[in-house]
Amino acid sequence: MNILKLVLKDFRANWAYQLDSMVLLFALSTLFIYIMLLENAQLDPEVVIYFMMMLMSTSIVSLLFMKMDELYKMDELFVSLPVTRTEIVIGKYLSSIIQVLLALPVHFMGVQLGFYFHGSLKNPELAFIHNPLLWIAMGAVILLFKSYAYPFYFKFGLSIGAAIHSVIQFLLLVLFILSSQLFNLQLIINKVVERVSTHNGYLVFAILAMALIVLMSLSIALSSKIYKNKAI
């Protein structure tokens, strides 16, 4: 119950910032996709840049409530309340994960609007980007990134932790772009989606969900240990 109250506190107190961030993400996706199609009328390596932008912008937005707590020194208030530090950590995790789950559908709708304005909704070359499986995979990637990023935030503070995380993400981005130049990225994505679609999709998602739960549990345990030993 305490954890739920902490999460609801974030959304009640900062709903306007949350709404503004979702509008911004929607506009980014719509404009990016529309301009990309306007210039080329087909998918090309720029789609890789789009998904990197989507991943990074979603990751940034998911830190909104943690940034507000840090700005207004809410941790000093939290530790004076009848809640444990572990509950505070879990509340921060849940708020951030919910923001990720809100951002992904917003990006998806922005992409659809960009396609609609360009008249490309029925273009077979664009079919894979409409597939919800791809977006679920992107959500899994974000949560994977978050699982190792949160302990940095609790250890070094949001600014330094986010800087460390950004460096790691940038290196992964460079590796991803180099890989996409060596391999046919769209073909790989299509084959992965086709393989998942032709097999037991529920089993694949169950395995993926369990892996993420294990990673997040380990991340929460480490962040809680760091937060308990932190002077506030």
Task: Tell me the domain boundaries of the chain.
Answer: 2-228
Q: What averages of pLDDT result for each successive group of 10 residues across the chain (232 residues)?
A: 80 87 93 79 65 85 86 80 88 91 92 79 66 80 87 88 82 72 61 60 73 91 91 73
Distant-in-sequence, close-in-space partners of 187: CB < 8 Å, separation ≥ 6: none
Predicted local confidence at residue 188, as pLDDT? 62
Predicted local confidence at residue 223, as pLDDT? 93
Predicted local confidence at residue 26, as pLDDT? 94
* Position 226, amino acid: I
60 touches 147 (CB < 8 A)? no
Predicted local confidence at residue 129, as pLDDT? 75
Instruction: Take residue 206 and report the two structure tokens written for it.
Output: 């169950």
Instruction: Take residue 64 and report the two structure tokens written for it.
Output: 């909104």
pLDDT digits (tens, 9 = 90+) for 68-110: 888 888 888 887 778 888 999 999 999 999 999 999 999 999 9
DSSP per residue over the chain, as a string? -HHHHHHHHHHHHTHHHHHHHHHHHHHHHHHHHHHHHHHHSS--THHHHHHHHHHHHHHHHTTHHHHHHHHTTHHHHHTTSS--HHHHHHHHHHHHHHHHHHHHHHHHHHHHHHHHHHT-TT-GGGHHHH-HHHHHHHHHHHHHHHHHHHHHHHHH-HHHHHHHHHHHHHHHHHHHHHHHHHTTHHHHHHHHHHHHHHS-HHHHHHHHHHHHHHHHHHHHHHHHHHHHTS--
